[in-house]
A and B are shown apart, each in its own frame.
Chain A
Amino acid sequence: MHVEQISVFLENTAGRLAEVTSILSENSINIRALSLADTSDFGVLRLIVDDIEKAETTLKNHGFTVGKNRVAAVEVEDRPGGLNDILQLLFEAGINVEYMYAFVRNSGDNAVMIFRFDQIDDALKLLEEKGVRAIGGSTLYTL
């Protein structure tokens, strides 16, 4: 149960970030989660949106370099140590988390975190075995 994420290469992150968000909003594409990783030189913007195909084409037409990856949207119990438990599980299984960021809305009482794994299928299988819920795209967009 994975979710598609798009990523965008940005030079001079500050100004270009606003351009990406305004292009998406002009095209009625809803940003559900966003994370920006940047260095002194460039940045990479990662987005969960409600219409990934449209977002990808629109941004490409505006000349951006766009990538697409499979990520996991994982429910995390909203209590101290909730995230730590999951990270511990993954660590013990030798699964590497490349990066993660928070999803805006909760799922019921639980928080939602977006995880980017190096081996997503192994990660999803492990989480399922351990009773940790991963949310699929269609559910995620309606939260």
Chain B
Amino acid sequence: MIYDIEFETMPREALEAIQARRLQATIERVCATVPFYQKKIAEAGLKPTDIKSLNDLKRLPFTTKQDLRDNYPFGMFATPMENVVRIHASSGTTGQPTVVGYTARDVQTWSMLMARSLAAGGATRGDMIHNAYGYGLFTGGLGVHYGAERLGASVIPVSGGNTKRQIVIMKDFGPTILTATPSYTLHLAEVAAEMGVSFENLNFKFGIFGAEPWSENMRHEIEKKLNIVAVDIYGLSEVMGPGVAIECHEAQQGLHIFEDHFIPEIINPETGETLPYGETGELVFTSITKEAFPIIRYRTRDITSLNPEPCVCGRTHVRMNRVTGRSDDMLIIRGVNVFPSQIESVLMEMSGVEPHYQLVVDRVDNLDKLTVRVEVGEGIFSDEVKQLQDMERNIEKNIKDLLGVSAKVKLVEPKAIERSEGKAIRVIDNRKI
């Protein structure tokens, strides 16, 4: 179902006219109210009135996570605190947390976009939503909650944790939709199995999963273990929270970005240059309706591409493909941008398992040399040397086909790849540049 027919299926031309108008207004506002933007935009040699069309967007400076940290806690707010009705913060696991705020109207917009998202995933008024996203500083729990109420569905605010009780609630209440992070969902499946509860006997039709990177493989695992359809949702607190983009259940091929509220761009993470539709690069967002925490050209660090093709569901909003990596992990090998996650997807496609692998880059005679070390687990082991050699050649060929880079594949024993805090070290760059 399409929640907001008018805006979600608006012809591109009209949509772009709205975007341009809202962009102009946003730039005027941030230059008037946020010293950070005022200074940065002036330093770029621009006045708010220079931003006349969508084409002018690329002239504006980027905003980074570090900028948000530097302005901790409220330096990026565009309105006095008396207009702010809600504050969220991202976890500070990799440094200072980033703090975001919402006016009453922002909360309304967010609720409406989450209602759109739930509807795009397949939810209607009659559904009961088991919301296992954490409630708190994290935007996931409350974001889904307000959207569910806005849509008119029944929401169970179960939050994260206390997993056994969650299974009992699933059995007794019979919710039809599960919202959770993919990893917690797999944990729920495990605990249910331990308790002897089969998802086949529960009432779930589908689930909406996001808030952390997950692979196509994980999607299949969730769909199999929970006997449901798994829908992908995207969002980040710096831009708003969940509900920035959603997969429509009709196509399930990419996530529609709600372009009447956010303008997406794909850039080359090295040069900052804007890339055309279809090319892979870093996703950048500009919010164009937010009041308390507008954000201009925010570098998400997420690697993806945009697909402008019309969708069978009727929505006209551009689709972003599944996030395949983080720009921080990007390697440039013989001039080609390579993301470890691309190699990972090649390996996964071939073996059907999450492989442990490592990219080693050396410079030999002024040429970059990429070696991919792959741990041989039981899933890919064979007692026949020839089969193992064929597999090495096939991986090399698939990497070459997909990335356009020659690599040497080297099979290694389990645990041969160094781990750091339990995670394999993905990249070793021995080049001295």
Residue ranges of A at the interface with B (Cβ–Cβ < 8 Å): 5, 7, 9-11, 16, 37-39, 41-44, 46, 63-67, 69, 98-99, 116
Interface set, chain B 401-428, CB cutoff 8 A to A:
410-416
Set of chain B residues within 8 Å of A5, measured between Cβ atoms: 383
Jot down 15 A-B pairs with beta carbons below 8 A, ordered by A: A9-B411, A9-B413, A11-B413, A39-B385, A42-B376, A42-B388, A44-B384, A63-B413, A63-B414, A63-B415, A64-B413, A65-B376, A65-B378, A66-B378, A116-B384
- 6 pairs of A and B residues whose beta carbons are closest in the complex: A7-B383, A37-B385, A11-B413, A9-B376, A65-B381, A11-B412
Chain A minimum-CB-distance residue to B384: A98
Set of chain B residues within 8 Å of A63, measured between Cβ atoms: 413-415
Chain A min CB distance to B385 (Å)? 5
Residues A39 and B376 in contact, CB atoms below 8 Å apart:
no
Name the one of B383, B389, B411, B414 contacting A67, with C-beta atoms under 8 angstroms. B383
| A67→B384 CA distance, assembly (Å) | 11
Residues A69 and B413 in contact, CB atoms below 8 Å apart:
no
Set of chain A residues within 8 Å of B416, measured between Cβ atoms: 11
Chain A minimum-CB-distance residue to B386: A98
- Kindly supply a per-residue 1/0 record for chain B positions 374-395, scoring 1 wherever the CB is within 8 Å of any chain A CB and 0 otherwise: 0011100111110011000000
Residues A46 and B383 in contact, CB atoms below 8 Å apart:
yes
Set of chain A residues within 8 Å of B415, measured between Cβ atoms: 63
Residues B377 and A99 in contact, CB atoms below 8 Å apart:
no
The DSSP consensus for interface residues of chain A is strand
Residues A65 and B377 in contact, CB atoms below 8 Å apart:
yes
Chain B minimum-CB-distance residue to A45: B383
Inter-chain contact total with CB atoms closer than 8 Å = 51
Name the one of B381, B389, B410 contacting A9, with C-beta atoms under 8 angstroms. B381
Name the one of B383, B384, B410 contacting A41, with C-beta atoms under 8 angstroms. B410
| A46→B385 CA distance, assembly (Å) | 11
Interface set, chain B 350-386, CB cutoff 8 A to A:
376-378, 381-385
Name the one of A10, A37, A67 contacting B413, with C-beta atoms under 8 angstroms. A10
Set of chain A residues within 8 Å of B383, measured between Cβ atoms: 5, 7, 44, 46, 67, 69, 116
Residues B413 and A65 in contact, CB atoms below 8 Å apart:
yes
| A39→B389 CA distance, assembly (Å) | 9
Chain A min CB distance to B410 (Å)? 6
Q: Please judge, given known A-B contacts A9-B413, A11-B412, A41-B410, whether A67 and B382 are in contact too, CB under 8 Å.
A: yes
Residues A65 and B414 in contact, CB atoms below 8 Å apart:
yes
Residues B385 and A67 in contact, CB atoms below 8 Å apart:
no
Chain A min CB distance to B369 (Å)? 15
Chain B minimum-CB-distance residue to A41: B410
Chain B min CB distance to A6 (Å)? 9
Residues A44 and B388 in contact, CB atoms below 8 Å apart:
yes
Set of chain B residues within 8 Å of A64, measured between Cβ atoms: 413-414
Set of chain B residues within 8 Å of A37, measured between Cβ atoms: 385
- Kindly supply a per-residue 1/0 record for chain B positions 190-212, scoring 1 wherever the CB is within 8 Å of any chain A CB and 0 otherwise: 00000000000000000000000
Chain B min CB distance to A29 (Å)? 18
Q: 17 extra interchain contacts, Cβ-Cβ under 8 A, other than A16-B413, A39-B389?
A: A7-B381, A7-B383, A9-B381, A11-B411, A11-B412, A11-B413, A37-B385, A42-B388, A43-B385, A44-B384, A64-B413, A64-B414, A65-B378, A66-B378, A69-B383, A98-B384, A116-B384
Set of chain B residues within 8 Å of A43, measured between Cβ atoms: 385
Name the one of B381, B384, B385 contacting A38, with C-beta atoms under 8 angstroms. B385
| A7→B376 CA distance, assembly (Å) | 13
Chain A min CB distance to B407 (Å)? 14
| A98→B386 CA distance, assembly (Å) | 9
Residues A41 and B411 in contact, CB atoms below 8 Å apart:
yes
Chain B min CB distance to A139 (Å)? 23
Chain A min CB distance to B354 (Å)? 15
Chain B min CB distance to A59 (Å)? 11
Chain A min CB distance to B270 (Å)? 33
| A46→B384 CA distance, assembly (Å) | 10
| A79→B389 CA distance, assembly (Å) | 36
Chain B minimum-CB-distance residue to A68: B383
Set of chain B residues within 8 Å of A38, measured between Cβ atoms: 385
Residues B378 and A67 in contact, CB atoms below 8 Å apart:
yes
- Kindly supply a per-residue 1/0 record for chain B positions 210-223, scoring 1 wherever the CB is within 8 Å of any chain A CB and 0 otherwise: 00000000000000
Chain B min CB distance to A46 (Å)? 6
Set of chain A residues within 8 Å of B414, measured between Cβ atoms: 63-65
Chain A minimum-CB-distance residue to B385: A37
Chain A min CB distance to B184 (Å)? 30
Set of chain A residues within 8 Å of B388, measured between Cβ atoms: 42, 44
Residues A67 and B381 in contact, CB atoms below 8 Å apart:
yes
Chain A min CB distance to B408 (Å)? 9
| A37→B382 CA distance, assembly (Å) | 12
Set of chain A residues within 8 Å of B411, measured between Cβ atoms: 9, 11, 41-42
Chain B min CB distance to A97 (Å)? 11
| A11→B378 CA distance, assembly (Å) | 15
| A5→B383 CA distance, assembly (Å) | 10
Set of chain B residues within 8 Å of A46, measured between Cβ atoms: 383
